[in-house]
Amino acid sequence: MGSNMAEAHPVGFQWVMEAKARGARVIHIDPRFTRTSALADQHVTLRTGTDIAFLGGVINYILSNGLDFREYVTAYTNAPFLLNERYQDTEDLDGLFSGYDPHTASYDSASWSYESIAAEATPGRRAKEQSSPYQHGASGPVVEGAAGQIAADPTLEHPRCVYQVLKRHFARYTPEMVEKICGVPQNLFLDVCRAWTANSGRERTTGLVYSVGWTQHSVGAQFIRAGSIIQLLLGNIGRPGGGIYALRGHASIQGSTDIPTLFNLLPGYLPMPDTTHENLTAYLDNVRGRNQKGFWGNADTYMTSLLKEYWGEAATAENDYCFGYLPRINGDHGTYRSAMDMVDGKVFGYFLLGQNPAVGSAHGRLQRLGMANLDWLVVRDLTMIESATFWKDAPEIETGEIVTERCRTEVFFFPAASHVEKSGTFTQTQRMLQWRDQAVEPSGDQRSELWFFYHLGRRLKEKLAGSADERDRPVLDLAWDYQTDGDEPSAADVLRHINGIDLRTGRTVSGYLDLKADGSTACGCWIYSGVYADEVNQARRRKSRFEQGPYEAEWGWTWPLNRRVLYNRASADPQGRPWSERKKLVWWDAGRGEWTGHDTPDFEKNKPPDYQPPAGASGPEALCGDDPFIMMSDGKGWLFAPAGLADGPMPTHYEPHESPMRNLLYKQQASPVRMVYGRPDNPSNPSPPEAHSEVFPYVFTAARLTEHHTAGGMSRQLPYLSELQPELFVEVSPELAAERGLHHLDWGHVITSRTAVDARVVVTDRMAPLQVGGRVVHQVWMPYHWGQTGLTRGDVVNDLIGVVADPNVFIQESKVLTCDVRPGRRPRGPALLDYIGDYRRRAGITPETGTRIMTAGDGVGPAHIEPAGLVSPPRPEGQP
Amino acid sequence: MTDTHSFYGPLADPAADAGHREHPPRVGFFTDTSVCIGCKACEVACKEWNSVPEDGLNLLGMSFDNTGMLGSDSWRHVAFIEQQRPLGQQDAGLEGLPTGPSGSDAAAGVVADALRHAERGGGELGTAPVDLGFPSFQLPGAATGAEGRTEFRWLMSSDVCKHCTHAGCLDVCPTGALFRTEFGTVVVQEDICNGCGYCVSGCPYGVIDRRPGDGRAWKCTLCYDRLRGGLEPACAKACPTDSIQFGPLDELRERAGQRLAQLHEDGVPEARLYGADPNDGVGGDGAFFLLLDEPEVYGLPPDPVVPTRDLPEMWKYAGAAASALLAAAVSVFLGRGAR
């Protein structure tokens, strides 16, 4: 669901085909009939962006028919826990949860807490600005006091227990409602419900796959939450064949969140300190929470070891291990905020490493205008991508918005070595690190990222040498002593430092349990600890699957500690016995007093199933013998999230930011806490209850083709790939083609309030209209790989998309918007601006459109537009 | 079973027939189109390994197929076929949606017009335009009514040179550029080919093709160089779902038979093998297929026959005709002499 696995992950899809050959039933739920649907047993077309309505329908089906895996749910989830009396549901508040503040468009989650745990009022504004929920990436958020006894009703009958709250919350998500909202006929929906529930339980499990079709929504995190709730209710987490497979968008993008390129995270999902963290202790108290369960209790060992890795001998107990050297965040510094800050003249320099925002990021136009207003820009890529050449060939040259002679940005282009020209690891979706050796020497001036940053750091240190300025200390004190081979740093040595080193012996540690908070260990990323255990590059192991057990423990290395299935303690019952012989994975061996099985147990090896913590215990010690979710503050899987999410403790169906439809469930139309950026250069198409949504009557979605790679930098330059998909096209159904007079292979163009793009029309039966809420809704799809350079060129599809984001992780809503489609080519040059201006006039669009995000109740909430000082940015030199 | 001549009929060991002694077993491809995901990795891997040139940046509008057909510059070709009929027990999820009639016929008409006007029709096929039976002209089983469409399936299939038991191209090659390898495959030697083009009209599948500007004939070599090095062909190596399987032909035929039986059991009665029968018009293919529809749907000829099948007969007739002519001529002289 939300995944086109066969096209976007064809290599991984071989295992789906293998499962199918062994009798698995494959169901594909997606707005389009794709190459994945072609190989599935069943395809379900749904309206883009209505996944929570569908999944909520499944939850309602499970709960109203009593089909949950009751023993699993009672023992391993927070279903029995009681909520406090102050909690109010979206059913009570017309689409809002308790704690909403319309002025900051954020929630105080205090009223969502468990009954027996008094949570302090925590205004949500700061959490929302910092994308705090993302900082819980490898764990549950803080629930202080969760280590103690939590008031619960094991019969699941108390009206305030999570199970009953969940049941009431989703009671109106009936098959009829699913049909009305999603456009999925009831019998088809019920088929999916029956298949999912019948194939789950003690003897069987169902796997759930999602990709960026789920994440790139203003409620994307809640899509995933909805899937998680179903998988927990059906006992499909921590068990073989079950789980949730988050297929990532690029090779090693998992690696780039584990060791992050994100503004709010440090390696291993340790949060980036913010301006309230005076010292290491204050920071750690914030990370660990007080008196709660789980392995975040050891955060002091992870953080101190990280600081020791960064600053080596300079980091001592006396100077707080150089904690003060870390930068602090004080708000939203995400990629879209940064692009706007560039436009507004607040950012001066920018590094682009293997990224092509001029084509690949939502609102490409905003990205290009931002980049045209920098002092300097460094681009490291395989070829001269559009983000390196926008100053001479951006679409804004044609419209006169960027003038080459006056564009101030100095662009430095560095040719990058490709993956075959350097050694290193990829971390894939299963958290598996796979090492690759260098195959050939880089040609010409091409160099690895490692080379670039190692020498950049070295030169910066040289330039600053002798400086007495305190602000230069963090750079001067950096431990920057990697082994080199010639002038190329050793990637293996870097991986060794990531693994962690016992500074007393100089040898690698065997895992994160060896890390210390006393400065005697250094570790670059605690969750990767063990990848270089015994001084062996574990990621380089390549034992054939035919020569080892079913979990292939000796192929590559998976974090944490080479566990292939996370939370696999849940594959055994509370007493430690496999739920069934057929689905056994790990179990308690009473004779030897240890956990054992086919996979590395994701549990303390010698903690028996009946272990009860002593009074006052916290951290790992507080985990009971039947608490499988060892990173969570209460040891349980969360059907209801008492903390940690910016947009509610349970998923709720909201319409997308741009939708042709009114929300049929609540007056609250779309997510009341979504990130909107009301500014003239970021207009929104109107959605009900606003007027004139009919100007953009169609639902638009964009995605990839197998034949190209994201923004095209790795494929549009290659003849063998370009010839396979040589031109930008727009897919429409025969019905929409008839309605709009579009003809196969003729030109057409797609229009939003941002811009219009040209494309060849492809009329295909793979697109089908839907009957939604008493009307027919047409969906339009485009691939987004094209730009101005390369062997095959085309308009930038991402220019159609505005910036609206999920409040938890700041991901843009690029998978669903509204549009118009017309035959023929779009106007060129300045006439394009007039054309779009006319659409905006007809739709009554102002910077306020789409920013009055609270629509529950009788009135309309305040508009969330950018402060006036920012609305009219100083004109950059390059822009007349 | 083996015929006395190697032009036609079942032939157990084509490599031996070509004079190879102590040769390895005959190898080939079994392409199981029922598991093809249309990723085209085979096309790319083939071109990368064999340095086959780019074949034109043309949006063909034939579903996701922008290669069009096999030719001198495309030795693998993935066909995409959109049809208004169900695939086995598959539910395309169209029932109950507000659909109108299919758009496939209209799209096919546009594609047909475009191809008619294309300079090379997507590839060089001998000297005159040839109707290959493009998948989308008239789809067998396609719904024609004006009612809402309720069924749909999307077929994908990777086509390649068939490496025939009786290879028409090889039989007519006057220079010996085409030869039968020790693996039983058929390969053009680029340094010997003189570009005469006889092979192009000799191929019953329309596979082998002359490259414009070069003039020589090119086609799949079944990665002869890789086979000699003990490697499997590039396309099979790259195929993520094992739709393209490489191996000894006997094993592949056995595996294909099992797969066919399984699909029939699973409620896909339309599954059938193509090119697996040694009694067919080319003595069976070295590269054969499991299809889910009639061969024409995929652009494959329904009953390919090696053009040299009738060569012995033709020689016999030609001989008889020559004898008759000779006899007539002689009789003329004899007659005159008698007068």
Q: Which two tokens stand for residue A123?
A: 């205004």
Q: What pLDDT score was predicted for residue B132?
A: 46
- pLDDT score for B117: 73
Strand order from edge to edge, sheet including A507-508: A507-508, A501-502, A521-522
How confident is the model over A118-175, as pLDDT tens digits? 666 676 777 777 777 766 655 567 777 777 788 999 999 999 999 999 999 999 999 9
> Is A191 touching B (CB cutoff 8 A)?
yes
Q: Around Cβ A691, how many Cβ atoms within 10 Å?
A: 11
Answer whether B77's CB lies under 8 Å from A745's CB: no
Calculate mean pLDDT across residues A596-623: 93
Share of chain A above pLDDT 70, in %: 97
A770 touches chain B (CB under 8 A): yes
Residues linked to residue A759 through DSSP beta bridges, in sequence order: A748
Strand A770-772 and strand A775-777: pairing? antiparallel
Q: Which among A723, A729, A734 has CB closest to B101?
A: A734
Taking the C-alpha atoms of residue A381 and residue A377, their distance in angstroms, rounded to an integer, is: 13
Token readout for A342 is 């560039």
- Helices A51-64 and A220-233: crossing angle in degrees, nearest 10, is 20
**Could you say which DSSP state residue A68 is in?**
S
Burial bucket for residue A831 (CB in 10 Å: 0-12, 13-18, 19+): exposed
Q: Which of A701, A767, A825, A778 is nearest to B103 (CA)?
A: A767
Higher pLDDT: B50 or A633? It is B50
Q: What is the DSSP string of B186-238?
A: EEE-TTT-----HHHHH-TTS--EEPTTT--EE----SHHHHHTT---HHHHH
Spatial separation of the C-alpha atoms in residues A789 and A267, rounded to whole Å: 35
- A11–B contact, CB cutoff 8 A: yes
Bridge partner residues of A82 (DSSP): A161
Question: Any residues with CB less than 8 A from the CB of A194 and at least 6 apart, and which?
Answer: none
Supply the Cα-derived Rg of chain B in whole angstroms: 23
| Chain A residue numbers touching B245 (CB-CB < 8 A) | none
- Note the pLDDT tens digit of each residue in A363-389: 999 999 999 999 999 999 999 999 999
Q: Is B146 on the interface with A (CB under 8 A)?
A: no
Task: Give the list of residues 6+ apart from residue A88 with CB closer than 8 angstroms, or none.
Answer: A97, A98, A111
How far, in Å, are A237, A280, A301, A501, A808 from residue A284 at the CA level? Answer: 30, 6, 10, 22, 22
What's the pLDDT at B144? 43
Distance of CA A400 to the CA centre of its chain: 36
Dist CA A797 CA A755 (whole Å): 9
Quick one: average pLDDT of A463-491? Answer: 95
Nearest chain B residue to A732, by CA: B103
Burial status of residue A225 (CB atoms within 10 A of its CB: 0-12, 13-18, 19 or more): buried
Structure confidence at residue B135 (pLDDT): 44
Phi, psi of A80 (to 5 degrees): -80, -15
The reported pLDDT for the residue numbered B118 is: 65
Interface with chain A: mutation pick from B33, B51, B59, highest number of A CBs within 10 Å? B59
> Residue A139: which residues within 8 A CB-CB, separation 6 or more?
A269, A294, A295, A296, A631, A632
The torsion angles phi and psi of A748, rounded to 5 degrees, stand at -145, 170
Under a CB-based contact definition with an 8 Å cutoff, are residues A730 and A761 in contact?
Answer: yes
Q: CA-to-CA distance for A307 and A300, rounded, in angstroms? A: 11
Interatomic CA distance for residues A288 and A141, integer angstroms: 9
Phi/psi for A852 (5° steps) reads -85, 85
Nearest CA to A395 out of A840, A802, A830, A792 is that of: A830
Exposed, middle or buried by CB within 10 Å (0-12, 13-18, 19+), for A874? exposed
What's the confidence (pLDDT) of residue B20? 95
Question: In sequence order, which ranges of A741-864 are alpha helices (DSSP H)?
Answer: 830-843
* pLDDT tens-digit map of A585-606: 999 999 999 999 999 999 999 9
Condensed to tens digits (0 to 9), the pLDDT of residues A235-276 reads 999 999 999 999 988 888 999 999 988 899 999 999 999 999
Q: With CB atoms and an 8 Å threshold, state whether B99 touches A768.
A: yes
| B101 touches A at CB < 8 Å | yes
In single-letter form, the type of residue at position A156 comes to L
The predicted model gives A838-849 an average pLDDT of 97
Retrieve residue A785's tokens: 């790989």
Looking at the complex, report in whole angstroms how far the Cα of residue A421 sits from the nearest Cα belonging to chain B.
18
| Average pLDDT score over residue span A193-205 | 97
- In chain A, % of residues over pLDDT 90: 88
A47, two tokens: 């309206």
| A238 φ/ψ sector (left φ>0, alpha ψ -120 to 50, else beta) | left
Q: Which residue has the tokens 């009919």?
A: A694
B99 in A contact zone (CB under 8 Å): yes
All residues of chain B having their beta carbon less than 8 Å from the beta carbon of residue A720 are 43-44, 47-48, 54
What is the Cα–Cα distance from A807 to B191, expressed in whole angstroms?
65
Give A291-322 pLDDT, tens digit per residue. Answer: 788 888 899 999 999 999 999 999 999 999 99
State how far the Cα of A340 lies from the Cα of A324, in Å rounded to an integer. 29
A706 interaction partners in chain B (CB closer than 8 Å): 38-40
Cα→Cα distances A850→A338, A691, A803, A846, B273, Å = 21, 11, 11, 9, 57
Which amino acid, residue B136? Answer: S
| Nearest CA-CA distance, residue B306 and chain A, Å | 32
Chain segment A654-691, per-residue pLDDT in tens: 999 999 999 999 999 999 999 999 999 999 999 999 99
Average pLDDT on A737-761 reads 97
* A6: contact with B, CB 8 A cutoff: yes
Q: How far separated are the first and last CA of chain A, in Å rounded?
A: 46
* Distances from the Cα of B51 to the Cα of A533, B43, B73, B218, angstroms: 43, 12, 9, 12
Q: How far is CA A693 from CA A254, A573, A672, A688, A818, in A?
A: 38, 52, 19, 7, 9
Can you tell me which residue has the tokens 């083709």? A705
Distance of alpha carbon A596 from alpha carbon A603, whole angstroms: 10
Query: Distance (Å, rounded) from C-alpha B156 to C-alpha B82?
Result: 9
* Interface contact A766-B82, CB threshold 8 A: yes
Round to whole Å and give the CA distance between A372 and A878. 7
Reported pTM: 0.93
Mean of the per-residue pLDDT values of chain A: 94
Check: CB of residue A792 under 8 Å from CB of residue B57: yes
Distance CA A765, CA A33 (A): 9
Burial of B210 (0-12, 13-18, 19+ CB in 10 A): buried
Prediction ipTM score? 0.92
* C-alpha span between B137 and B112 (Å, rounded): 7
Shortest distance, CA A840 to any CA of chain B (angstroms): 31
What is residue B309's predicted lDDT score, i.e. its pLDDT?
Answer: 79
Whether chain B has a CB inside 8 Å of the CB on A41: the answer is: yes
Shortest alpha-carbon distance between residue B123 and chain A (Å): 14
Q: A194, A722, A724, A725: which to substitute to probe chain B, counting the most B Cβ within 10 Å? A: A724
Residues of A in contact with B110 (CB under 8 A): 743-745
Task: Find the helix or strand (DSSP H, E) in which B62 lies.
Answer: none
Nearest alpha carbon to residue A212 among A362, A321, A338: A362
State which residue of chain A sits closest to B241, comparing Cα positions: A14
Read off the pLDDT of residues B2-44 as tens digits, 9 standing for 90 and up.
Answer: 444 567 888 999 999 999 999 999 999 999 999 999 999 999 9
Pair A794, A722: CB distance under 8 Å = no
The pLDDT profile of chain B, 339 residues, written as one tens digit per residue, is: 444 456 788 899 999 999 999 999 999 999 999 999 999 999 999 999 999 999 999 999 999 999 999 999 999 999 999 999 888 888 888 888 999 999 998 998 988 887 777 665 544 433 334 444 444 444 444 444 457 889 999 999 999 999 999 999 999 999 999 999 999 999 999 999 999 999 999 999 999 999 999 999 999 999 999 999 999 999 999 999 999 999 999 999 999 999 999 999 999 999 999 999 999 999 999 999 999 999 999 999 999 999 887 777 777 888 888 888 888 888 877 766 555
Residues in chain B within 8 Å Cβ distance of A792: 57
Q: Please give the distance of CA A423 from its chain centroid, rounded to a whole number.
A: 27
Residues 171-190 of chain A with CB under 8 A from chain B are 183, 185, 187-188
Q: Is A788 left (phi over 0), alpha (psi -120 to 50) or beta?
A: alpha
